[in-house]
Amino acid sequence: MKEQLNGILETAKASILAADSEQSIEELRVKYLGKKGELTALLKQMGSLSPEERPKMGQLVNEAKAQVEALITDKAKELKEKATELKLKEETIDITMPAKAVKRGKLHPLNTVLNDMIDIFQSMGFDVVDGPEVETDHYNFECLNVPADHPARDMQDTFYLAENLLLRTQTSAAQIRTMETRKPPIRVICPGRVFRADEVDATHSPVFHQIEGLVVDKGITLCDLKGVLEQFAHEIYGSDTKVKFRPSFFPFTEPSVEVDVSCSECGGKGCRVCKGAGWIEILGAGMVHPNVLRSCGIDPEVYSGFAFGIGLDRLTTTRYKISDIRLLFENDKRFLEQF
């Protein structure tokens, strides 16, 4: 019986060590330690032994069972760890694999120029305000000193939504809304889309962009206007840019000026960009008309101010040498990707 026990123990040890899966180790557990297992069967044969031999043999079989049990537990643990390791290996993500390229969008050139302008004016203490694109006749014309029959209306024919409701022709309407809600000192710019019933061509579009500026305080003069606009032109076009103020007319300013800058392309000699003139007109401006101040409840005897309106599209086309304004609105990716 002792030899039988040793034989079982040897084969059990060998097969446990050779087991290569959690399933086979489980089968071995049943084979040796189960109710009908080989070691259990040995215990059942103990009846045939003499009373002196019985306890000795019993002890040997129990020791053998414990040994087999320990071996199986260790092996099972080892196999389980191996399986987990393998699973983890299979599931790892290869972080060195090239990812699908994400195409990054870009700012539209109009926005790039606008952001630069906002930076320049904010550094001079201006706030950025917003105004509605659908305006009333009152804000777009009346309060800006352009009454119903004024000839200046001809130049700004627009799209009417109702009797007194229109798509704004100029950001100047935002001046009025600002002066109605803020008290001087006022220093704001208002960028936005404007609309006019213009025929489309290389330099005209029924939708375009302006940046309105307004300063109102005690003691504001034309010198302040010149200083601010010169500073702006130098920052946007470079410090050697020459700035020219020409007398002009706007119903809402008196006196009014138009501002030209020396062509950044040819330096003033005359070229294709400036159409041979050497100068490029960039904005209209002037001292806020007393009637306009009065219509907003600001006393023109106490306060004065200046205003300006810059064409963003023109600034953008000249900066990037874009020959046709329509390119800015067509949203052709091949065009936009160049900036």
Q: Among residues 126, 250, 279, 303, which is the contact residue for ligand DAH, using CB under 6 A?
A: 250
The DSSP secondary-structure symbol of 132 reads -
Least Å distance, CB 243 to ligand DAH, is 16
- How many C-beta atoms lie closer than 10 Å to residue 41's C-beta? 14
Residue 131 contacts ligand DAH per CB under 6 A: no
CB neighbour burial string for 48-72, b if at least 16 within 10 angstroms, e if fewer: eeeeeeeeebeebbeebbeebeebb
Q: Among residues 253, 295, 304, 318, which is the contact residue for ligand DAH, using CB under 6 A?
A: 253
Which of residues 172 and 304 has its CB atom nearest to ligand DAH in the complex? 172
Least Å distance, CB 180 to ligand DAH, is 16
Residue 172 contacts ligand DAH per CB under 6 A: yes
Residue 212 contacts ligand DAH per CB under 6 A: yes
- How many C-beta atoms lie closer than 10 Å to residue 83's C-beta? 12
Least Å distance, CB 212 to ligand DAH, is 6
Which of residues 195 and 237 has its CB atom nearest to ligand DAH in the complex? 195
Residue 307 contacts ligand DAH per CB under 6 A: yes
Which of residues 9 and 173 has its CB atom nearest to ligand DAH in the complex? 173
Least Å distance, CB 289 to ligand DAH, is 9
Q: 57 and 2 in contact (C-beta within 8 Å)?
A: yes
Stretch that binds ligand DAH, among 47-55, 118-126, 146-154, 306-314 (CB under 6 A): 306-314
Q: Among residues 32, 274, 308, 313, which is the contact residue for ligand DAH, using CB under 6 A?
A: 308
* 30 vs 27: CA distance, rounded Å: 5
Residue 285 contacts ligand DAH per CB under 6 A: yes
Location of structure tokens 């550094």: 123
CA-to-CA dists, residue 93 to 81, 89, 96, 99, 279, angstroms: 20, 9, 9, 12, 61
CA-to-CA dists, residue 337 to 106, 107, 108, 112, 334, angstroms: 7, 9, 9, 13, 6
Kindly tell me the sign of the dihedral angle through the C-alpha atoms of 234, 238, 240, 245: negative
Both tokens assigned to 170: 């100029």
Which of residues 64 and 225 has its CB atom nearest to ligand DAH in the complex? 225
Binding residues for ligand DAH, total number by CB under 6 A: 11
Location of structure tokens 């936009």: 336
Which of residues 75 and 289 has its CB atom nearest to ligand DAH in the complex? 289
Both tokens assigned to 250: 């706007």
Residue 192 contacts ligand DAH per CB under 6 A: no
Residue 292 contacts ligand DAH per CB under 6 A: no
Residues near ligand DAH (CB under 6 A): 170, 172, 212, 250, 253, 284-286, 307-309
